[in-house]
Chain A
C-alpha cells in the first residue's frame, strides 16, 4: 500500500511537470491558435541551461568559499535565470520567426515550429554533445523530507511539487483576477477589437509566447535533474504533452491539469505495480506457457512494458468516445 502511495506521489510529480509543459502550450494555443511543436525543445533548453549555470556558478563559488552551498546558490540562480533566458529566446523566435510566417497560414506556422523543434535538437546535440549530462539535484536539497511507510519522500521532489502547484494557482489567478489576464483573454477571442482599444496585440502575443516558453524552461530546470538531461528528452516528452492537450481538451487549463495528473499517475503506477497480463490471457483460455512468437510477446506483456504506450492508447480511446476531449472548448 505504501508503495502505491509513493508511486502516486511520484506520478503526481511527473504529472505536474507535464502540466507545466502543457499549461504553457495551452496558453500559447489559446492566445494565438498556434500549437507550438517546439515546446518540448524549450523544455530541453531549460534543463541544459540550468545544468551549465548551476555547474558554472557552483564551480566558481566552491573555488572561492568551498562547501556545497555553491551548488544550491547556483541552482537557485538557475531557477530564475534559466526560464528567463528561455523565455527571451521564445519571444525572439515569435517576433522574428512566427510573426513572419503567420501570413502563410496555420500549416506554415505549425511546420515552422516543427522545423524549429528539429533545429534546436540538432543544435543542442552539436553544442552540448549527445551524451546525457550529469545534471544532479543540488546536494543540499537532496534529502528525505519525511518517511511514509518506510519510503523516503525526497525534499527536492516536494519542492518541485510545491512550485508546480504555485504556478497553476498563479496562472489561474492572473487569468481571472488581473487586468493583464483580462486583456489576454480578450485578445484570445477578439484580437482586432482588443487592438482597437489601444492594446498592442502583437506585443501581447510576443510576451505570451515568451511566457509559455519560460514555463517550459522552468519545467526543464526543475525536471532535468529528475528525468535526465539529454538530447532525446525533448523527443520523448514532446508527444506526450500533445496527448495531454488533446485528452484534456484544447484550450482548457483545467483539462490539461486533469489529463496531466492522470497520465503521470498512470505512468508511475503501471511501472511500479507492473501488472502482468498473463492472468488476463489465461482467463481468455490462451495457453500461456506454450505460447510462441507473437503470442509469447503479447502474453508476457506487463503494464511496465506498456507504460510508454499507455498515453497513446488513452488518446485513441478518447478520440473514439469523446473527440472533444475532457473539457475542450476551442474547436480547430
Chain B
C-alpha cells in the first residue's frame, strides 16, 4: 500500500497513519470476520438462518476447544461433550433459579463465563485421571467417561430431566439500560458472536504462550519434552483443563440459545460431531476447526431439510477425509502456502486443472448422492411408496432407469476423477517446483 508522500504532513500524522495501516494489515483476517459476523443477519434474514448462525458460533468455540486437545496437544478424545453438556445443564438450572427468584439476577451475558468454570472444574477432575495415559488408551478412557456421564444423566432425573431434558426461559427483564432484550433471537446471536470472538482470541493467544508451545512440542515428541524439564502429564492436564473451560463456554451459549439442555448434549454422538468438525476442517491449522464447524453445521441444516441420510453422508465424508486428506480442508490449503508465499500468481496455473478435478469430483458426488438416496427410499420401511424427488426431479426408486442413471453418473464421475486427478497433481508439483526455484533465486 503506497503511503501518500505529503511533504506538508506532520511527522506524528504519518506515524499514526502508518500504525493504523499496520494494524489493519496484521489483523485483517480477524477484522474481516468481525465485519462478516456483524453484517450476516442482515444478508440472510429469517429466524431459521439466525438459528443456524447461532449454532455455527457455538460450534466454532466448541471445535476450537476440542482442537486444543487434538491438533495442538495430540490427545484424541471421544468424550469431550461432557464438559459442553454439563455446563449447559448447570446454566439452565441457574437461569431457572433466577427466574424463580432463588438467585440474584446474574446477567445472561455472564452465564457463558460460569459455564466455562463448570467445564474447567470437570475438565480438571477428569483430566487428572485421564492424562495419566496417552495415545490410544487416553482415547478409550475418554470414551469411558463419556459413556459414564451419559448414563448418569439418564439416571439422575431430577437434575438432568431424563430423556426429555430440562427447559427454561432466558428472558428475564432487559439488560444494559433496556437495550438488550433476550427474547429476541438477534440479540442472542450477537451475544454468541461477541463471546465467540473473545473465546477464539483467547484460544489463539494461548497457542503463543509457553504452555501452548510446550503442548505442541509434547504432541510431536513427548520424550524430549520430559528431558528438557517438563512433566508431560502436567502439561496435558493443564491443556485438558483449559479445553474443558472453553467447551463449557460453548455449552452455556448453546443452552442459552435453545433454552434447554438434554442428554444429547453429553452423549457420544455429540463428542463424535465435534471430532468430525475439527478433523474435517483440519487439525493442523488454528483456523481448521473453524472451517469445519461452519461447513458441517451449514451442511447439516441444508441436507437434513431434503434428505434422511445426513449421518451417512457425514460418515462417508469423514472417511474420505481420513483416507485421502488427513490434514483436512485446512491441510489442503496449507499445502499451497509455500506457493503463495513466494508469488501468488503461480497459483493461477492451478486454476484449470483444479477446476477440472473439482468438476469430476462434483459429478461423482452427485452420482453417490443419487445412489444413496435411491437406496434409502427403497429400504425405508416407514414410507410405502417408492416415489421420491431427486434433485428436484420426480423419480421412482424402483425403476431400473433411475438406478442405471445413478450408477452411470457415479461410475462416470469416478472415471473422470481418475482422468483429471493426475493432471491436478502434476500441476501442483510443477507449481511447488517453480516456487521453490524462485525462492532459491534460480
Touching in the complex, A and B, CB below 8 A? yes
Query: Is A129 positioned at the interface, with any CB of B under 8 Å from its CB?
Result: yes
Minimum C-beta distance from B63 to chain A (A): 15
Cα(A185)–Cα(B376), bound, Å:
44
Query: Is B422 positioned at the interface, with any CB of A under 8 Å from its CB?
Result: no
User: Which partner residue on chain B sits nearest A101 by CB separation?
Assistant: B323
B140 touches A100 (CB 8 A): no
Q: Which of B144, B268, B376 contacts A312 (CB 8 A)?
A: B144
Query: Is A148 positioned at the interface, with any CB of B under 8 Å from its CB?
Result: no
Cα(A114)–Cα(B276), bound, Å:
11
Chain B, residues 250-279, CB within 8 Å of chain A (1/0): the string is 000000000000000000100010010001
Name, among B140, B145, B156, the residue most crowded by chain A CB atoms within 10 Å (CB to CB): B140
Q: Which of A65-116 contact B (CB under 8 A)?
A: 97, 100-101, 104, 106-108, 110-112, 114-116
Chain A, residues 281-316, CB within 8 Å of chain B (1/0): the string is 000000000001110111001000110110011011
B311 touches A35 (CB 8 A): no
Cα(A78)–Cα(B160), bound, Å:
43
Binds B, one of A55-63, A119-127, A268-276: A119-127
Minimum C-beta distance from B90 to chain A (A): 12
User: Which partner residue on chain B sits nearest A292 by CB separation?
Assistant: B158
A297 touches B312 (CB 8 A): no
Query: Is A131 positioned at the interface, with any CB of B under 8 Å from its CB?
Result: yes
User: Which partner residue on chain A sits nearest B162 by CB separation?
Assistant: A297
Known contacts: A35-B140, A115-B319. The answer to whether A296 contacts B158 by CB under 8 A is: yes
Known contacts: A104-B326, A110-B76. The answer to whether A129 contacts B141 by CB under 8 A is: no
Known contacts: A101-B323, A115-B319, A309-B155. The answer to whether A319 contacts B129 by CB under 8 A is: yes
Query: Is A320 positioned at the interface, with any CB of B under 8 Å from its CB?
Result: yes
Q: Which of B132, B137, B141, B323 contacts A100 (CB 8 A)?
A: B323
A119 touches B323 (CB 8 A): no
B152 contacts across to A, CB distance below 8 A: 309
B312 touches A119 (CB 8 A): yes
A166 contacts across to B, CB distance below 8 A: none
Minimum C-beta distance from B207 to chain A (A): 19
Q: Which of A118, A292, A297, A313 contacts B156 (CB 8 A)?
A: A297
Minimum C-beta distance from A215 to chain B (A): 19
A243 touches B137 (CB 8 A): no
Cα(A305)–Cα(B157), bound, Å:
12
Cα(A309)–Cα(B144), bound, Å:
10
Minimum C-beta distance from B4 to chain A (A): 52
B381 touches A316 (CB 8 A): no
Minimum C-beta distance from A130 to chain B (A): 8
B312 touches A242 (CB 8 A): no
Cα(A116)–Cα(B316), bound, Å:
9
Query: Is B148 positioned at the interface, with any CB of A under 8 Å from its CB?
Result: yes
Cα(A126)–Cα(B377), bound, Å:
9
A312 touches B145 (CB 8 A): yes
Query: Is B136 positioned at the interface, with any CB of A under 8 Å from its CB?
Result: yes
Minimum C-beta distance from B1 to chain A (A): 42
Query: Is A263 positioned at the interface, with any CB of B under 8 Å from its CB?
Result: no
Minimum C-beta distance from B329 to chain A (A): 16
B74 contacts across to A, CB distance below 8 A: 107
A127 contacts across to B, CB distance below 8 A: 375, 379
Cα(A285)–Cα(B436), bound, Å:
76
A8 contacts across to B, CB distance below 8 A: none
B316 contacts across to A, CB distance below 8 A: 119
A242 touches B143 (CB 8 A): yes
Minimum C-beta distance from B236 to chain A (A): 14
B272 touches A118 (CB 8 A): yes
Cα(A127)–Cα(B381), bound, Å:
10
A297 touches B319 (CB 8 A): no
Known contacts: A309-B148, A316-B129, A316-B145. The answer to whether A332 contacts B155 by CB under 8 A is: no
Minimum C-beta distance from B157 to chain A (A): 6
Query: Is B354 positioned at the interface, with any CB of A under 8 Å from its CB?
Result: no
Query: Is B40 positioned at the interface, with any CB of A under 8 Å from its CB?
Result: no
Query: Is A235 positioned at the interface, with any CB of B under 8 Å from its CB?
Result: yes
Query: Is A21 positioned at the interface, with any CB of B under 8 Å from its CB?
Result: no
Q: Which of B129, B156, B375 contacts A294 (CB 8 A)?
A: B156
Known contacts: A106-B136, A323-B133. The answer to whether A298 contacts B156 by CB under 8 A is: yes
Query: Is B147 positioned at the interface, with any CB of A under 8 Å from its CB?
Result: yes
Chain B, residues 145-180, CB within 8 Å of chain A (1/0): the string is 101100110011111000000000000000000000
Minimum C-beta distance from A54 to chain B (A): 21
A313 contacts across to B, CB distance below 8 A: 148
A332 touches B136 (CB 8 A): yes
A97 touches B141 (CB 8 A): no
Query: Is A257 positioned at the interface, with any CB of B under 8 Å from its CB?
Result: no
Minimum C-beta distance from A251 to chain B (A): 11
B376 contacts across to A, CB distance below 8 A: 126
A242 touches B144 (CB 8 A): yes
Known contacts: A122-B312, A126-B375. The answer to whether A239 contacts B143 by CB under 8 A is: yes
Minimum C-beta distance from B300 to chain A (A): 15
Cα(A312)–Cα(B312), bound, Å:
29
A110 touches B156 (CB 8 A): no
Cα(A131)–Cα(B134), bound, Å:
39
A131 contacts across to B, CB distance below 8 A: 381
Cα(A52)–Cα(B318), bound, Å:
30
Query: Is A201 positioned at the interface, with any CB of B under 8 Å from its CB?
Result: no
Cα(A127)–Cα(B377), bound, Å:
10
Cα(A265)–Cα(B303), bound, Å:
45
Name, among B133, B144, B151, B379, the residue most crowded by chain A CB atoms within 10 Å (CB to CB): B144
B76 touches A107 (CB 8 A): yes
Query: Is A233 positioned at the interface, with any CB of B under 8 Å from its CB?
Result: no
Chain A, residues 147-184, CB within 8 Å of chain B (1/0): the string is 00000000000000000000000000000000000000
B134 contacts across to A, CB distance below 8 A: 332
Query: Is A219 positioned at the interface, with any CB of B under 8 Å from its CB?
Result: no
B159 contacts across to A, CB distance below 8 A: 293-294, 297
Cα(A298)–Cα(B155), bound, Å:
9
Known contacts: A115-B315, A316-B148, A332-B133. The answer to whether A242 contacts B323 by CB under 8 A is: no
Cα(A23)–Cα(B155), bound, Å:
31
Query: Is A17 positioned at the interface, with any CB of B under 8 Å from its CB?
Result: no
Chain B, residues 269-311, CB within 8 Å of chain A (1/0): the string is 0001001000100000000000000000000000000000101
Minimum C-beta distance from B321 to chain A (A): 9
A293 contacts across to B, CB distance below 8 A: 158-159
A115 touches B318 (CB 8 A): yes
Cα(A258)–Cα(B135), bound, Å:
24
Minimum C-beta distance from B414 to chain A (A): 15
Query: Is A218 positioned at the interface, with any CB of B under 8 Å from its CB?
Result: no
Known contacts: A97-B323, A309-B155, A323-B133. The answer to whether A122 contacts B311 by CB under 8 A is: yes
The 9 A-B residue pairs with the shortest CB-CB distance, nearest first, are A312-B148, A122-B312, A309-B151, A119-B315, A332-B135, A115-B319, A315-B144, A239-B147, A118-B315
A-B contact pairs, 12 of them (CB 8 A): A101-B326, A108-B322, A110-B76, A111-B279, A126-B379, A129-B381, A239-B268, A242-B140, A294-B156, A297-B157, A312-B145, A332-B135
| A110-B139, A126-B312 known, 8 other contacts, Cβ within 8 Å | A101-B326, A122-B312, A129-B381, A294-B156, A301-B155, A319-B130, A320-B129, A323-B132
